[in-house]
Structures are given as C-alpha cells and as structure tokens.
C-alpha cells in the first residue's frame, strides 16, 4: 500500500501542474454569506506554501441548505498545505455546532462486527423522516487497523485505549477532541470514537517526525502519501472537517490548524473510504445529496440504506 501510493505521488510530482485543472467545487452550488447570519469564522485562510493562491483558495463559501434559509451553518473552502506538492488539495468544511449536532453510527461490519457487535450502519430513521439530516462523513479505521475504541449511547462496541486521539460527543451538542488516558469523560456522553494518536493538541502538531512508529494507517511510519480525512474543534467549539489527496498526517494536521482547529484527529484514509455528503432536505423524508467536492466518492446511498463501516452524521438541532 505504501509503495503504491508513494509511487503515485512521484508520478504526480513529475506532471507540470500548469497543465492540470482540478475541479474543487461543490456540485450543489454556493450561497452568499453577505445575506446570511452566521457564527462561523469567515476570515480567509492564509498558508505559507510558496504557491500563487488560486482565486478561491482559502476563501470560505456558504453551502446553502433548505433547512437554514437565513443562516450559514456549513462553510467550505480549500487550501494546499504542502509546499512540495502544489497538487495536494485539502477541502475543508467548517460546521456550526450550535445549529447542528454530531452523531455517529457503527457500521454493519466495522469496527466491531468481527467481535460480534455489529452496528446498524444507517442514519437513524427519525432524523431521515423528520427532514433533519444535513451531512454524513467517514469515521475511523477498521478493526484490523488498531481495534480503536467506540461507544455509542452507552453501548461499547470496542473498549477505549489510552494515548489515542478521541472524539467525545455530549448530549448537549458539545464535541471535544482529546488525548484519552483513562480520565473521566464526564456526564451525558452520547458517543466516543478513537482513531490513531491525537493529531493536533492545543494548536500544535503532535506528529513528531517521519520516524514516528505509531500506527497511522497500516504502515509503521507517517510517510505514506494518500487521501486522508481529519476532524478538528475550534476554540469556539465549531468543527472543521478536512479531506485531501497526497497527504501525510503532518500536512493533514497543518491544514486543520490553518482552518482554525486547536485539537484534531485523523479519521479514515485512502481514496474509496474518504467521504463527506451534504443532504439537502426536499421534505417528506427526501433529500438531494452531493459530495463536498466532485473528487469524492458519493456515499449518500450507503448512509441511508446500510454501510459496512462506521460514520458520523450531522443533523438539525431541534
């Protein structure tokens, strides 16, 4: 796997990028923040990558949603965090956790089907039929890639492990990303999901070097270049989702920090597994759905009918 992706990276580096056009756009179209209320931080992202910025690079755009005609609740942009790879693009989504809640579903097979604890693998039906679903995106690794902990509504799919990046969701909508070491997570925990060592902690990258021997995706180093996703929390408590090609944990973390995340973890990796779908309500439990960027696999059908792997979902708060 490492050899395949790194050879692909070498090939891409030899292609003159002036001859390459990358469609970074969202198929559902963009809205205008000038006419919306929003709690999101719309300050342009500046990152010192040494490249001439593209026209929309680092500039937040609204993803319009029928459920929120007067509010901007998800903003998106893209940046290039790797100064050695002008072709390594990271799409970002900034998410308002005041108006949107985060949930998670265990997959029918992963991460705990192999130990006799399969999950439902679908967005809860009451959210679908109630026209509250807004988005869904990939969760963590498979069982074989670390046996990382997962708890939902008090049910333990896999026990928690120490010294891992851990997403903790509370019933009041608060989301925290922490380094778990057995501490009390407090009351009213809705879910917990672990994946890999913590990626960003207190605004600092925690990936020590390319010789880091912690598991970042079926490789003993951090040097594999592949599609990666990550989830971060801002000081205001909002979420940042990141997805991009030809990334190492370092460049994924750099993108999350640039977008405002102070704590973050890596989620799933590799081209087919990285996903983020917007669901725009049409009423009567029906939705139109688009991937965050045309570069991503469309996971909408799987999220609504049954998926083998765990995933997060966003829904309207009340």
C-alpha dist (Å) from residue 192 to 82, 148, 189, 238: 31, 10, 8, 17
Half-sphere exposure of 310 (CA within 13 A, CB side): 31
pLDDT at 15: 58
- Contact (CB, 8 A) for 186 and 179: no
pLDDT at 224: 82
Per-residue pLDDT reduced to its tens digit, 70-107: 999 999 999 999 999 999 999 999 999 999 999 999 99
pLDDT at 311: 98
Q: What is the pTM of this model?
A: 0.93
Q: Which residues of the chain have pLDDT under 50?
A: 3, 209-214, 219-222
Neighbours of 154 (CB within 10 A): 8
pLDDT at 21: 75
């Amino acid at each position: 796997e490492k050899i395949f992706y790194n050879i692909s990276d070498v090939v891409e580096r030899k292609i003159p990028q002036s001859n390459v056009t990358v469609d970074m756009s969202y198929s559902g179209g963009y809205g205008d923040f000038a006419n919306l209320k929003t709690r999101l931080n719309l300050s342009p992202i500046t990152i010192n990558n040494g490249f001439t910025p593209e026209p929309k690079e680092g500039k937040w755009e609204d993803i319009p949603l029928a459920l929120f005609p007067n509010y901007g609740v998800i903003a998106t942009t893209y940046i290039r965090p790797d100064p050695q790879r002008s072709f390594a693009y990271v799409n970002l989504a900034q998410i308002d956790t005041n108006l949107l809640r985060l949930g998670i579903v265990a997959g029918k097979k992963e991460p705990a089907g192999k130990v006799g604890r399969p999950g439902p693998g679908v967005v809860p039906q009451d959210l679908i039929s109630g026209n509250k679903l807004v988005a869904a995106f990939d969760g963590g690794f498979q069982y074989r890639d670390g046996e990382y902990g997962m708890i939902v509504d008090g049910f333990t799919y896999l026990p928690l492990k120490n010294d891992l990046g851990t997403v903790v969701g509370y019933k009041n909508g608060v989301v925290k990303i922490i380094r778990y070491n057995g501490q009390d997570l407090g009351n009213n925990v809705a879910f917990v999901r672990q994946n890999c060592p913590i990626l960003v902690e207190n605004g600092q990258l925690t990936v020590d070097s390319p010789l880091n021997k912690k598991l970042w995706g079926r490789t003993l180093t951090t040097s594999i270049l592949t599609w990666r996703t990550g989830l971060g929390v801002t000081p205001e408590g909002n979420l940042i989702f990141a997805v991009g090609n030809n990334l190492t944990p370092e460049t994924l973390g750099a993108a999350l920090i640039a977008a405002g995340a102070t704590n973050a973890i890596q989620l799933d990796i590799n081209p087919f597994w990285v996903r983020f779908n917007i669901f725009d309500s049409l009423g009567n439990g029906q939705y139109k759905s688009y991937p965050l960027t045309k570069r991503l696999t469309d996971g909408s059908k799987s999220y609504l009918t049954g998926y083998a792997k765990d995933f997060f979902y966003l829904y309207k708060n009340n």
